[in-house]
Amino acid sequence: MKLKKEKSKLVFPDLSSIPCIDKVGVEERVARFQTRSIKDASKEQALRMVLNMIDLTTLEGKDTPQKVKQMCYKAMHLHDAHPGLPSVAAVCVYPSMVAVAKKEVQDSGVKVASVSTAFPSGQAPLSIKLEDTKFAIDEGADEIDMVISRGKFLSGEYQYVFDEIAAIKEVCGKVRLKVILETGELITLDNVRKASEIAMYAGADFIKTSTGKIQPAATMQVTYTMLCAIKDYYHKTGIMIGMKPAGGISTAKLSIHNLVMVKEVLGSAWLTNEYFRFGASSLANDVLMQVLKTETGIYQSADYFSID
Amino acid sequence: MRLEILKTYKLFIGGQFPRTESGRYYPALNKKGEVIANMCLSSRKDVKNAVVSARKVQLAWGEKTAFNRSQIIYRIAEMLEGRRDQFISELVKQGISKNKAEEEVNLAVDRIVYYAGWCDKFAPIFSSVNPVASSHFNFSALEPMGVVGIFASETSSLIGLISLILPVIVGGNTCVVLASESLPLCAVTLAEVINTSDVPGGVVNILTGKAGELASTFASHMDINALFYAGSDEALLSELQQKANSNLKRVYSYTYDWGSEKGQDVYIINDFQEVKTTWHPIENVGGASSNY
């Protein structure tokens, strides 16, 4: 059950009490998630679930309104030749494209997520980040994907990072806030864990691995570390935080491994797009091809699926 | 005394040498029925993985200049020449005489050089500027078909493999090859040759296994654009043709004696090309007359 968090009750996490990450252990555990035998019937369900958890994303300097419109259409009509498929969870765009996207998806159930806070680097003053977030919300964003200040984090200014997230959450109000840790820049799994704690205690609704601009992005090791942080937070507070691995998950197989991991670490309650998302631009087509493969037994070609 | 080091024959997919994902194998026998090696018995998933690799690299391979492709393919000949003893011993192991084996390896090297030479020449021969009755230039130009599935000749281990792979890749296609089931040794060694000769990983993928088992997967696969069948099994060919209709694959079947002169032919390159015709409007400049 999700309890209502109150701003006044935000407390900075006790970073000295969080567990150290055993990298070897994490790697072995993650390897085991990838060896589960998944039967056809479960696979079919899992693939549909993955589709419904995708945040279809375009975050390029060259994005145009037409490109965004096209992607929104794809979000709602994944593959019309095959009726009965779910739509994706959300489209994820830059603030300047939120209005365009919102007009396209309307009340189809597909949400509009906007990156903000000077995405992807986050190297801007807080006032600009707040303005950026406000703009996106005013334009109609249902969800905000903010980036943390990695520079501040790495130089040990944890309180700054915490306060910044809290300030953005205050602007968001009821709008769902996803906090991007950009794990590829955090270097160690211990840092990932630390950043996860800070984000959750500062009011994040979701924690998200990466912007997609930095490699490595959503490795299973990183996602696993964050899922463990979410589990511990849940046991302490009773609050369910969502998880969004983003960047680098482009095959159906990898996405199913991720679902297995969520199920085994957090349990079935997290297996909905309220609490788990994939940030991806090319995953949807691979999953669609797998859906058709499982149903027809015939290997598919990307030539027969719309690019966006 | 030295421990005998035996070679593990593996698959060749995307420039890597994995074992079959299925973990299955079958024994390759010589003419006396003795086991000479254990070969990977490829599964549908291996075919799928190979097609993914072939597709990934196809555009880049097709867009290389013809001259560059020519150089790379010539390099295969160089590498094969350097490994001739190994090929000869494998051919002998599979049951042909030393002389015959030497002849086959020589022919294989020569044939690669022959096809290397065609890289920049077949396109001008088979392209055309066509006469039309309006103010247009009308070109027919060649384009590679894409990913080609190849069923190697069952009766000829090396030359029957080379003669199929070369005309396909010369034209900018990539391929997934199923080697001869009964004579598979040279296929894997050829993979090692190709891997050391600047051919990008994934352009040639070589699997070993049973044609009967994998035919349906090849034929129905939506991401394979053409099939090249060099066997003589009518029933299998008919199955390929029927299942190939899912994405209108081209199916070519040849029953040449690959060791003969006929086994090398520029028309085979052309068979794995699509023709694209373009109409380009022109103005009638200064009243000049033109047939085009």
Q: Is the ipTM of this complex over 0.85?
A: no
For B112-153, what is each residue's pLDDT tens digit?
A: 999 999 999 999 999 999 999 988 899 999 999 999 999 999
- Please say if A231 is a catalytic residue: no
- Residue A117 confidence (pLDDT): 96
Q: Which residues of chain A are modeled with pLDDT < 50?
A: 1-4
Number of alpha carbons in the 13 Å side-chain half-sphere of residue A307: 3
- Residue A290 domain-assigned (yes or no): yes
Q: Is B281 exposed, middle or buried (CB count within 10 Å of its CB: 0-12, 13-18, 19+)?
A: exposed
Residue of A nearest to B220 (CA): A298
- Residue A257 domain-assigned (yes or no): yes
Extents of the domains making up chain B: 37-281
Residue A299: list chain B partners with CB under 8 A. 44, 47-48, 51, 217, 220-223
For B245-260, what is each residue's pLDDT tens digit?
A: 989 999 999 988 999 9
- Residue B7 confidence (pLDDT): 85
Residues of B with CB under 8 A from a CB of A: 44, 47-48, 51, 55, 217, 220-223, 246-247
- Please say if A244 is a catalytic residue: yes
- Residue B1 confidence (pLDDT): 84
SS3 B90: helix
A:B CB pairs within 8 Å: 27
CATH label of the domain that carries residue A61: 3.20.20.70
> Beta strands of A242-299 (E only): which ranges?
242-244, 278-280
Give the residue among A150, A90, A89, A91 at the shortest CA–CA distance from A117: A150
Interchain pair B223, A303: CB under 8 A? yes
Q: Residue B69 and residue B54: Cα distance in Å, rounded? A: 16
How many Cβ atoms are within 10 Å of A49's Cβ, its own excluded?
18
Interchain pair A299, B51: CB under 8 A? yes
Take residue B37 and report the two structure tokens written for it.
């090696």
Interchain pair B223, A298: CB under 8 A? no
- Residue A3 confidence (pLDDT): 47
- Residue B63 confidence (pLDDT): 96
With tokens 């085991």, the residue in question is: A32
Q: Which domain holds residue A273?
A: 40-304
Best probe of the A interface among B55, B174, B223, by most A CBs < 10 A, is B223
Q: pLDDT band at residue B286, thresholds of 50, 70 and 90? A: low
Interchain pair B221, A302: CB under 8 A? no
Options 3.40.605.10, 3.40.50.2300, 2.60.120.260, 3.40.30.10; which CATH number does B37-281 get?
3.40.605.10
- Please say if A208 is a catalytic residue: yes
- Residue A4 domain-assigned (yes or no): no
Could you tell me if A35 lies within 8 Å of chain B, comparing CB atoms? no
Residue of A55, A74, A111, A145 marked catalytic: A145
Q: pLDDT band at residue B261, thresholds of 50, 70 and 90? A: confident
Could you tell me if A303 lies within 8 Å of chain B, comparing CB atoms? yes
Could you tell me if A81 lies within 8 Å of chain B, comparing CB atoms? no
For A238-283, what is each residue's pLDDT tens digit?
A: 999 999 999 989 999 999 999 999 999 999 999 999 999 999 989 9
* CA of B70 vs chain A CAs: smallest distance (Å): 29
Structural domains counted in chain A: 1
Q: In one letter, which amino acid is B128?
A: S
* Residue B238 confidence (pLDDT) above 60: yes
CB B148 within 8 A of CB B168: yes
- Residue A2 confidence (pLDDT): 45
- CA of residue B206 relative to chain centroid, distance: 9
For B56-79, what is each residue's pLDDT tens digit?
A: 999 999 999 999 999 999 999 999
- φ/ψ region of B68 (left if φ > 0, alpha if ψ in -120 to 50, else beta) reads alpha
- Residue A172 domain-assigned (yes or no): yes
In this structure, the dihedral spanned by the alpha carbons of residues A124, A127, A133 and A139, taken in order and rounded to 10 degrees, is -120
